[in-house]
Amino acid sequence: MISPILRFWTGPIPFQSTRKNPFLDLLIHPIKRHLAKFYLKFLTLNGTIVIGITGSYGKTTTKEALKSILPSSVASAANIDPIYNIPATILSTPPWTKYLILEMGIEHLGEMDFYLWLAPVDIAVITGFGLAHTEFLKDLKTIKSEKLKITKYAKHVVNFSSHKPGPKNALSIARQVAKILEIKPDLSSFTPPPHRLQIINHPSGAIIIDDSYNANPTATKFAVDYLVDLAKKKNQTPVFVFAQMNELGSYEKSAHAAIDKYVAQKGIKNFLTLGPATANLGQHFKSRETLIPAIRKFLTPNYCLLIKGSRSWHLEDVVSALTA
């Protein structure tokens, strides 16, 4: 049990740190959080508008879309734990910044409370809801209630504009935010982040959809739809390379079974899987090293391949091996 005095000092972090470094956890990071909290008050008094982004998918793509249309903006860096990333982003923000864009992804109960303690948002963006991090967040109802906390202080709320993640949805959200801010959006400089529904035209004539950054049940089904639609458009046969979805807790078995069923409903015959939770799905492989040669067989003009899985399976390395 964390004492009230210690909690006041460290901030309302909802979980024990895994870093096991008392000097950082009890001194350096709390100092940075309090400095960031008070510096943000100075920024907002000078007119900085805080935009917070949450959702089960599409946060980084949406952040990049917003950054491309908002002049004098600062955005949080990708792939860093927001608990540490958000204070660092605030402290690195120049005083003349007009828009501060923060990703507020959550994995634990109470995590959004910490973000809002540190950085109340003026505009709340919600990209969508789906089963993700249910190892800690338990169920979809809890996921929704925790993420919706982002609206607590917001003057404006932008909900996801469609039920499909990806660049189009991110651009639509960016246009809605631009309308709120009464600016004309110029999206010509927007480039989707790598490994998120990224189309690669392979020299063999095959098309690779690199969606290897991460996976949860909702986003995976959307990606499968994208694969089937693109394969049909290009008159190619779809191939789905799928690595296990992590942090699903009690939903792990049922969620993977649902993906298996969905793939079958979509008529995908070439289904290659990786990870113990996918052992009974498709053509299963125990390692990336054995998976890669099997994928190479589909590198012909006849095939369109989707590569997707949770981040810890490092499917980006598979994509690199195929495109080297």
Res 163: pLDDT: 54
Q: Give the number of residues written for the chain.
A: 324
Residue 152 inside a domain? The answer is yes
- Same domain for 116 and 176? yes
Q: Evaluate whether 243 touches 310 at the Cβ level (below 8 Å).
A: yes
CATH number at residue 302: 3.90.190.20
State the residue range of the domain holding 58.
4-181
Q: What is the distance between the terminal CA atoms of the chain, rounded to a whole angstrom?
A: 51
Mean local confidence (pLDDT), 16-20: 58
* Number of separate domains in the chain: 2
Residue 226: band (very low, low, confident or very high) from pLDDT cuts 50, 70, 90: very high
Phi/psi of residue 245, nearest 5 degrees: -90, 125
Q: Evaluate whether 136 touches 127 at the Cβ level (below 8 Å).
A: no
Residue 62 inside a domain? The answer is yes
CB-based contacts of 28: which residues, under 8 Å, 6+ apart? none
**Position of tokens 């631009």?**
178
CATH number at residue 29: 3.40.1190.10
> Which among 124, 146, 181 is the end of a domain?
181
Residue 188 inside a domain? The answer is no
Q: What is the pLDDT of residues 179-193, one digit of tens each?
A: 999 999 888 888 888
Q: What is the pLDDT of residues 109-122, one digit of tens each?
A: 889 999 999 999 99
* pTM of the shown model: 0.86
